Chain A
Amino acid sequence: MKKSYLLIPLSMVLVATTAISSVGAADKSVTLVVRHTQLGEAKQQRLNILNDVLKRVSKDVSGVNFKLDGVDSDVNRKEKLRSEMATNSAPAIFDLFGGADTQLYASEGKLLDLTPILKELGLQDKFISLGEFTVGGKVYGLPIGGYQEGYFYNKPYFEQKKLKVPQTLDELEKLADVIKKSGKTPFAQASKQAWVPLMTANTLWSRYAGPDITSGFATGKTKWNSPEMVAAFTKYQDWVNKGYFKKGELGLEYAEQRNQLIRGEAIMMYDGSWASSVFADPKQAGKMTNQVGYFAMPKASNGKGSQTAVNGGFSNGYGFSAKVKKDAKQLAAVKSFIKNMYNDEMQIRGLEADGVLPSMKVDSGKLAKAKVSDLVKDIIAVGNKASGAFPAFDSMVQADVNTAISEGIQKLIGGQTTAKKMLDAVQKVQQEANDNDE
C-alpha cells in the first residue's frame, strides 16, 4: 500500500514534466549560424546590411536566433567551408562562391535547392544571372551583388601630369614608364594571396588569347601553355622586371594594395568594383576620398577575341545547408532571409553604401535615383561600354589547377620561373585534373 502511495505522485510528476517539456519543445527557439566574410572597416556597410536583414528575419519567424560567424573570405572558401562540408557541419547560412565550389557541394547534396523557394517568393526571374550558382537546372546559391574588375587610378595625379586614360596596352605601358620615371610605383599590388595578382593576369591573358580561352581549360579544348597564354604571362613578367610593382609586394596582404594607392605611393591599381567603397569613405581614403577614377584594361594590339570584355560576374553570395530543410523553422528562417536580403531596397542600399553592383533586375526608376559616387558611375559606365563579361578563371577550373597557377604566379613574380615553364607545369596539373574527372 505504501509503495502505491509513493508511485502515484511520482507518476504524476513524470507525466507533468514530460508534458511541460514537450510543450516547451514545440516553442523551442533555434539558433542559426550565419557564416559571413564581412570583416574589417572596408566591409562594415555590408555587415550592417546583413545585421538589418537578420533583425527582420527574427521578427518574421519567432524563436529564431542568429549567431554571426565572421571568417576571412579566402580562408572560408578554401579551407573552413571545405572542411565543414567534409564533416557535414556547415553552418545553416554561409558565404558561397559560384562555379566549381557550388558544383562540388551541390553534386554531393550538401546545398539546399533554392529553385522552389525562388518560385514561391516570385524571385525566379529577378536575378540578372544565376548561371554560376546553377547546377543541373537547379539553383543552389544567390549572388549578393555583381562585380567588375579594372584599373582604379589617382585622378589628381593624372590631371597634374596631363596623362590620359590609355586605349591600348602599349599606351598603358608608356603611362607606367612615365609614372615610374617620376619616382612612383605604376601599379599598386600586394600578392601574399595569389588571387590578387591573378586578377590582372586573368584579364591580360583574356586580351591576348581571347576571353573564351578560360572555359576550354577544364574541357581540354584549350591549353594553358598555348603561345598566346605564354605571351600574356611573358608580358606580365616583363612588367615585374621593369619595376611596375612595388618591390617586396609578394609578402604584403591584400589590404596593403589599396593603401599604396591611398598614400599616393602607387598611381594605378587593378582591383574589383568591391574596392570602390573605400574611396568614398574619408576615414579610409583620407585625401584620396572621391579622387579615384576607373578604366577597363585596354585592348592588346593583335589580341584575340573581344578586346572590351571585362572580367565580371555574379559569383559571390549566400548558400544554405541542405540540412535546413529537415526543420520547418529553419527553412522558414531561410525563406525569410532570402525575402529580406534579395529585394530592390537592399540592392540599392548595397549600391549606395558600398558600391556593390546589383545582382538583381532592380527597378530602373529606383536605380536612376540611387545616390552613388562618381567612381561607381565610372564603373557602371565601363560595364555598359563593354562588349561582354567573362567570369574569373577560378570558377571555371578545378581546385588543383587554381593552386598550381597560384603558386606559379608567385614564382613568376619572384623570378623563380619563366612564363613558359610555369604554364607547362599548370597545363600538366590541368591534364591530370581533366583525366581524373572522367
Chain B
Amino acid sequence: MPRCTLNGLKSMQVYLPIAEISVNLYLLLGLGGIVGFLSGMFGVGGGFLMTPMLMMIGIPPAVAVATEANQIVASSVSGAIAQYRRGNVDVKMGIILLIGGIIGSVLGVQLVKLLREMGQIDLVIKLTYITMLSIIGTLMLIESLNALRKAEKAKGGGKAAAARKAGSHNWVHGLPFRMRFPRSKLYISVIPPILVGVAVGLLAAIMGVGGGFIMVPAMIYMLRMPTKVVVGTSLFQIGFVTINTTILNAVQNHTVDIMLALILMSSAVIGAQLGARAGSKLPGEQLRVLLALMVVAMCVKLAWGLIATPDELFSFAAGGE
C-alpha cells in the first residue's frame, strides 16, 4: 500500500507544538549545524542568520525570535566553555558588558511591545538589520583587509610589526571610572563597555539575536580588546542575555518552542564546537574578512527584500493569524 511510503516520508516531518506547524526534521538539523559552526568560529550568536531563515520556512516571526534566543543559550554556553578552556574569556569585562546587556534587553522588550501595537515591528526589525549590518560590514571589511595587508608586509619585513595596537589610544581611554582588565590587558573606563552592553541588549530584544555581530566589532575597534579574548567574552555575555530574553518571552508572549529549540540545539552545539576548532586554527585577520563578507551579503539580501516589488502586497499581521 502507498501508506507505507507515506509513513516513511512522515517520519522526517516534526510537528512543533508552539509554532503549530510541521517542518522537515533534516532541514532544521542542517540549519542548526551550519549556524552553530559559524557561531563557534566567529563568536556571534548566529541569530541574525537563523531568525530570518526560520521565518522563511514558515515559523511565525514571534516564535522564531523567542525560540532563537533559547537556542543561542545552548550554542553560546557551549562555545563560551570551549573558549574559556583556552583562556579566551575575560570574565570581568564580560560581567560589565552583561550589566549593560540586562538593562538594554529590558528596555528593548518594552520597545518591541510598543512597535508591535503600532504594527511596524517587521519594518523596524529589517531596517535595523540593514543599518547595523551595512555600517559594521563595510567598516570591518575595510579594516580587516588593511590588517591582512599589513600582516603580510610585516611577514616580509621579518618582525611582527602588526602584533597589537597596544599603544593606540582613542576617546574611549579618556573617560572616568577606569578599571583594570588584566585578561584584556586594558585599563579603561567602564562606561563604554556598559554602553556597548546596553546597545547589544536593546538590539538583541528587537532583532531576536544574541548581538555578537555588533559586540565583536565594538570590542575590537572601540574597546581595543585583543581579538583572541573577544570571541569568548562575547559568547559569555550573549549566554546570559539570551537566558534573560528567553524567560521574558516565555512569561509574556508564550512564544518559546522547546521542541524547535531542542532540534536546533542538538545540531548547533556540535557545529559550534567544530567551528571553535576551525576558528582557532585560522588567523584572526582572515576570520574577520570572512565575517565581514558574510555581514555584507546578509545586508544586501535584506535590503533587496525591501526594495524589490513584492509578488503579494498582502500579508498576515503578526499575532493576527
A and B: bona fide binding partners: no
Chain B residues close to A by CB (< 8 Å): none
Chain A residues close to B by CB (< 8 Å): none
